[in-house]
Amino acid sequence: MKYEELIKELRRDGPRHVYLLSGEEPYYIEKAQEAILTSLLPTPEDRQDGLQVINGDMDSDDLVARINTAPFFADKNVLLIRQTNLFRQARGDAEKPKKGKRADKKESRLQEVLAAMPEFSYVIFTSTQNADKRKKLTKIVGTHGAVLESPAIRPWNIGDWLEPRLRELHLHFDREAYGYFSSAVSMMPKVSLSYLDQQLQKLALAGTNRKVTKTEMADLFTGLPEVSVFALTDAVTERKVRKALFLLQRQFEDGTYFTILVSLLARHVRQLWQVKEFERQGLRGRALAQPLGLHPFIAEKLAKSARAFSEETLKGAMLELVDADYLLKTGKAGNEVLEHVIIRLCTEK
């Protein structure tokens, strides 16, 4: 079940007695958790009397006992089990610990109570690991309750979240702002919807029903080194050597660690190189988005940029960056090694 489906069902039919909210993207897990708790316990007083928060797992018989215990000061008994391992994906059979009869019986008792929850009790399990759909416990929750899947957001599908969120905040991007946002997201080692949502809310504070500009977007992301380096990689892509060297020097002056610069330049060169390989396989334009792990808009732009570079130049630059990483870490060279890579990328045919 997706987040939108869970919220629609919650508003239409009310809360179920058992939920599993799991996946690598915590943004939807936290929003779903709050929506369920608000439906069950709408006031702070209700939560104080009716909510029990357990961090990590507890003995399954103790959990069964808590589920079966009627509340004293509230009409609902709500258990929030954070970061549970009960539903985690199973590893190889050799790594699975063998369960004894006693453990099997305890697990069976938990399965039975989750399949027939007391009228006064509700359980919300959360985990930032993907749930194993093959597990009997997962199937029971899916049958008698609801399972939210919250997979990690990737740059190529960020639009699935962005477009409805902009409508909610009464904002829209102009073309340049959209391009900058997509580029910024593509530079992030891991996309965090919580962080992106905070930035959009800052824009919304300035007024609603308005168009967001590229300048505003750039101001929001200046605090992220990974994103601020984007201007440098963009200058390299355009083969503007003076601008690229100026921006490289500015990164040094701003205190950006050389490890970040090396890794992001290497990532950019690798992507340009990969474009050429994928195009040989018949992929073109936006079709490059998923194999590259990029937003379609950025993949198309990168494909156009890659035509200006030969494979020999990209291969040579990658080898230089590997050497630069070693030389800088061992103190055997200075910033000039990165300057040489920039000059090579911007000037070689």
Name the residue type at position 77.
Answer: N
Backbone φ, ψ for residue 81 (5° rounding): -100, 105
State yes or no: pLDDT of 103 exceeds 80: no
Predicted local confidence at residue 91, as pLDDT: 61
Predicted local confidence at residue 77, as pLDDT: 92
Name the residue type at position 15.
Answer: P
Higher per-residue confidence, 37 vs 188 = 37
Lowest mean pLDDT among 11-15, 64-68, 251-255, 318-322: 251-255
On whether the CB atoms of residues 155 and 50 are closer than 8 A, the answer is no
Backbone φ, ψ for residue 17 (5° rounding): -85, -15
Percent over 90 (pLDDT), the chain: 26
Section 127-149 average pLDDT: 92
Read off the pTM. Answer: 0.70
Query: Fold for domain 3-149?
Result: Rossmann fold (3.40.50)
Query: Fold for domain 229-349?
Result: Zinc Finger, Delta Prime; domain 3 (1.20.272)
Q: Where are the domains of the chain?
A: 3-149, 153-222, 229-349
Contacts of 84 (CB under 8 A, 6+ apart): 56, 57, 125, 126, 127
State yes or no: pLDDT of 95 exceeds 50: no
State yes or no: pLDDT of 305 exceeds 60: yes
Sign of the dihedral through C-alpha 231, 234, 238, 244: positive
Predicted local confidence at residue 303, as pLDDT: 85
Predicted local confidence at residue 94, as pLDDT: 44
- Given this chain, do its domains 3-149 and 229-349 carry the same CATH topology? no
Q: How confident is the model at residue 348 (pLDDT cuts 50, 70, 90)?
A: confident
Percent over 70 (pLDDT), the chain: 93
Please state, in angstroms and rounded to a whole number, the distance separating the CA atoms of residues 334 and 316: 19
Instruction: Write the pLDDT tens digit of every residue in 56-65.
Output: 888 888 999 9
State yes or no: pLDDT of 18 exceeds 50: yes
Section 282-293 average pLDDT: 80
State yes or no: pLDDT of 46 exceeds 80: yes
Please state, in angstroms and rounded to a whole number, the distance separating the CA atoms of residues 24 and 26: 6
Instruction: Write the pLDDT tens digit of every residue in 163-181.
Output: 888 888 888 888 888 888 8
Predicted local confidence at residue 226, as pLDDT: 63
Name the residue type at position 250.
Answer: R
Q: How confident is the model at residue 328 (pLDDT cuts 50, 70, 90)?
A: confident
In the predicted model, what is the mean pLDDT of the chain? 85
Maximum Cα interatomic distance, the chain, rounded to a whole number of Å:
77
Q: How confident is the model at residue 125 (pLDDT cuts 50, 70, 90)?
A: very high
